[in-house]
A and B are shown apart, each in its own frame.
Chain A
Amino acid sequence: MRVALFITCFNDTLFPATGQAVVRVLERLGHEVVFPPDQTCCGQMHFNTGYQRECVPLVRSFVDTFADADVVVAPSASCVGMVRDFHGRVAEVSGDRGLAAAVAETAPRVHEFTEFLVDIAGVTDVGAYFPHRVTYHPTCHGLRLLKLGDRPQALLRAVEGIDLVDLPDATECCGFGGTFAVKNSDVSVAMGTDKVARVLATGAEVLTAADNSCLMHVGGLLSRSKSSVRVMHLAEILAGERG
């Protein structure tokens, strides 16, 4: 299958290893990956912070960039949620009928990485090897917007050598919340600190998730508390190979 990668601006800039892992997994499964070079940002930060008007050109550029792609895959549940659930709203705010039509065309073709693997590629065993104790945090947008359900865990369980342990109170938000992490940093840190305590209780070496943004927040707290627990996007675990 020919798959267009939407890397997301955040992963592009700060977590290129995640994108590389996505490419490795997809190619290992025999898919052709293309990277439309004009892509920038889905507009989530602007939209969620109240700058809906500023979001309009970003949505326009997104639909132009991916107009020709049959299948778009992104390693971020929250960006996919933004595209699928809210690009339509941005188009509505803009009052541009053409944009609304383009969004209606493009948005449904955009899939989160684990969603693509399980639902479209039809695999749960991607041939990965990762001999570590891992716990998985279902991020809120993956859980409640995209309703990823058990897909990520199904993929992780099929990884050879993995010791996947349950995270207590897993469905509780980690406290990141985009600009919430800065605007309400005290509450954000309080929530994140509780998440850290639960992660530590599992004895896991690695905390994984389908969103690097949440991992950056929890990982930042772990690092500040001098914990040795690493955070790692799920794609990087699925890309793991023997030797």
Chain B
Amino acid sequence: MTGTWLGMPPFPEAARKALGDTQLRTNLRKATGTIRGKRAAVVAERADWEALRVAGKEIKDRTLHNLDTYLEQLERNVTAAGGVVHWARDAAEANRIVIDLVRAADADEVVKVKSMATQEIELNEALAEAGIAAYETDLAELIVQLGHDRPSHILVPAIHRNRAEIRDIFLREMPGVTEALTDDPAELAAAARAHLRRKFLTAKVAVSGANFAVADSGTLVVVESEGNGRMCLTLPEVLISVVGIEKLVPTWQDLEVMLQLLPRSSTGERMNPYTSTWTGVTPGDGPREFHLILLDNGRTDALADDIGRQALRCIRCSACLNVCPVYERTGGHAYGSVYPGPIGAILTPQLRGVTADEVSPTLPFASTLCGACYEVCPVLIDIPQALVHLRAKAVDAKRGKPSAERAAMRVAQWFFGSSRRLRVAQRLVATGGRVLSRRGRIGRLPGPLKGWSGARDTATPPRRTFRTWWESR
């Protein structure tokens, strides 16, 4: 498996493959079940949870509606505090800036804090090409990197791996690990600590993302658990943070909302073990150089869409993944993007463009519209609404080209056009149904009906519709 997402098949195809992996399904069910319970418990503790969600939504809407102003304010404040701000239109530009900065620091390796933005731009691959080694330091990212694998979850990229598989990866890939290592999570965590310790203590350059960037103070925020974030943000001489332009919040006070919503929604904790905040550089404390790279990479396209825009409120908590019945069964890889699950299904097609590749136009359809995601989203993103909206975009993008589905939809629309026509359709269904029926049931059918009938019987359509019954009363 390669590290990139190029050439991913349409969702239904990838999902079929994933569904065949029983180990994957067992791992996912166990992990998502655990986290769902924890989240529900800490959310239930807060009688004011709905008020927090409303505030979270409004803070992000306020940000998005005035994004230019807040970005300029952030830039001024970071610069005044001794940081350097860079702007990147796309992945290639962001990667180039990082590479140049690493070279300027005379380094050939970097330590990395888990960051969705750098995964999105495939920074590690770009660095490798430039001869720079990137060391992922978050445990799950390390598991993915050592396993030559791809992330499958926003919060826990190695969620598809269980403890035994993780032990095998460590045994195979981690220098100095012996057969004595068991699959006890505490031991595995200790092995990762030993493995990365020297890297942390000697690295010259660190690369991070940020969970939030505060416009009115110029402060960056990283929320984490393990302390790898603190290591990267504190010990190296040069810190480079790649941050999507939508990560802003207007004011320092706004963090009081976000820092309550995020940990409860993501790891199901009242507070995550460590949150670091920094503003520019502080002499004698932490890096001597700080570079902030503000990344667009498709975000402004999403911003231009009145309904799609709400996806930019996302704080990447992953609660929507953990409750999604589709995600739970397919895992994250089927979504063909670093953003899997419900949020991925609305974000990926917007960042890349709905017709960019094979997988993107199929993502908005990777949902039953059950609404479980909307129910938990801490910033009230109406994911089902956005899904349906993007479905329309996917359909509209293909108008003018022949499509069996559109032909069928047109026919259905015509029959629904009047009750007279509907009666004709009803007679066709009743007659056709009886032709196909055996012992009161319609079994497996070929052609376009295969998808439905492959695993499901259908009752024979009744001779009399409701309306004929009604008229005969």
A contacting B, Cβ–Cβ less than 8 Å:
yes
Question: A residues engaging B (CB < 8 A)?
Answer: 7, 9, 11-17, 19-20, 23, 35, 37-41, 43, 45-54, 57-58, 61, 86, 93, 140-141, 143-145, 171-173, 175-193, 216-217, 219-221, 223-224
B325 touches A50 (CB 8 A): no
19 CB-based A-B contacts, threshold 8 Å? A9-B416, A13-B425, A14-B429, A14-B459, A46-B413, A50-B364, A51-B409, A177-B370, A181-B452, A183-B12, A184-B11, A184-B326, A184-B365, A187-B12, A189-B455, A189-B456, A190-B329, A219-B457, A221-B455
Scan B252-282; emit 1 where CB is below 8 A from any A CB, else 0.
Answer: 0000000000000000000000000000000
Known A54-B413, A220-B458; judge A191-B466 contact (CB<8 A). no
Q: In whole angstroms, how far apart are the Cα atoms of A114 and B167 in the complex?
A: 53
Chain A residues near B456 (CB, 8 Å)?
189, 192, 217, 220-221, 223-224
Which size bracket describes the interface of B in this complex?
35 or more
> Is B172's beta carbon under 8 Å from chain A?
no
Known A45-B412, A46-B412; judge A187-B326 contact (CB<8 A). yes
B368 touches A9 (CB 8 A): no
Q: Which residue of A lies closest to B364 (CB)?
A: A50
A190 touches B467 (CB 8 A): no
> Which residue in A19, A49, A185 is a CB contact (below 8 Å) of B391?
A49
Chain A residues near B406 (CB, 8 Å)?
51
> Which residue in A12, A47, A53, A140 is a CB contact (below 8 Å) of B370?
A140
Chain A residues near B441 (CB, 8 Å)?
223
Q: In whole angstroms, how far apart are the Cα atoms of A147 and B256 in the complex?
A: 31
A190 touches B395 (CB 8 A): no
Binds A, one of B96-104, B218-226, B231-239, B371-379: B371-379
Known A49-B391, A221-B455; judge A145-B461 contact (CB<8 A). no
Scan B113-127; emit 1 where CB is below 8 A from any A CB, else 0.
Answer: 000000000000000
Scan B359-399; emit 1 where CB is below 8 A from any A CB, else 0.
Answer: 00000111111111011000000000000100111111000
B409 touches A144 (CB 8 A): no
Q: In whole angstroms, how far apart are the Cα atoms of A144 and B372 in the complex?
A: 8
B391 touches A20 (CB 8 A): no
A182 touches B422 (CB 8 A): no
Least Cβ–Cβ distance between A51 and chain B, in angstroms: 5
> Which residue in B369, B374, B396, B417 is a CB contact (below 8 Å) of A177?
B369
Scan B300-332; emit 1 where CB is below 8 A from any A CB, else 0.
Answer: 000000000000000000000000011001100
Chain A residues near B367 (CB, 8 Å)?
177, 180
From A15, A57, A177, A193, name the one whose CB has the most chain B CB atoms within 10 angstroms.
A177
Chain A residues near B422 (CB, 8 Å)?
9, 12, 40-41
Known A46-B413, A51-B409; judge A186-B12 contact (CB<8 A). yes
Least Cβ–Cβ distance between A14 and chain B, in angstroms: 6
> Which residue in B366, B370, B409 is a CB contact (below 8 Å) of A184?
B366
A14 touches B12 (CB 8 A): no
> Is B16's beta carbon under 8 Å from chain A?
yes
Q: In whole angstroms, how far apart are the Cα atoms of A217 and B410 in the complex?
A: 24
Chain A residues near B368 (CB, 8 Å)?
140, 173, 175-178, 180, 188, 191
Known A140-B371, A184-B11, A185-B454; judge A12-B416 contact (CB<8 A). no
Known A13-B429, A41-B416, A224-B455; judge A48-B369 contact (CB<8 A). yes
> Is B418's beta carbon under 8 Å from chain A?
yes
> Which residue in B329, B374, B419, B459 is a CB contact (below 8 Å) of A40?
B419
> Which residue in B19, B410, B467 is a CB contact (below 8 Å) of A7?
B467
Chain A residues near B425 (CB, 8 Å)?
13
A172 touches B365 (CB 8 A): no
A14 touches B19 (CB 8 A): no
A20 touches B469 (CB 8 A): yes
A186 touches B465 (CB 8 A): no
> Is B451's beta carbon under 8 Å from chain A?
yes
> Is B3's beta carbon under 8 Å from chain A?
no
Q: In whole angstroms, how far apart are the Cα atoms of A61 and B420 in the complex?
A: 13
Known A184-B365, A187-B15, A189-B455; judge A16-B465 contact (CB<8 A). yes
> Which residue in A23, A40, A48 is a CB contact (below 8 Å) of B416?
A40
Q: In whole angstroms, how far apart are the Cα atoms of A143 and B418 in the complex?
A: 31
B417 touches A12 (CB 8 A): no
> Is B4's beta carbon under 8 Å from chain A?
no
Q: Which residue of B lies closest to A18 (CB)?
A: B466
Given contacts A20-B469, A144-B374, 8 further A-B contacts (CB under 8 A): A17-B462, A19-B470, A40-B422, A57-B417, A173-B372, A175-B368, A177-B368, A187-B326
Q: Which residue of B lies closest to A39 (CB)?
A: B419
> Is B464's beta carbon under 8 Å from chain A?
yes
Least Cβ–Cβ distance between B26 and chain A, in angstroms: 13
> Is B79's beta carbon under 8 Å from chain A?
no
Q: In whole angstroms, how far apart are the Cα atoms of A143 and B366 in the complex?
A: 20
Scan B205-222; emit 1 where CB is below 8 A from any A CB, else 0.
Answer: 000000000000000000
Chain A residues near B466 (CB, 8 Å)?
7, 11-12, 16, 19-20
B457 touches A220 (CB 8 A): yes
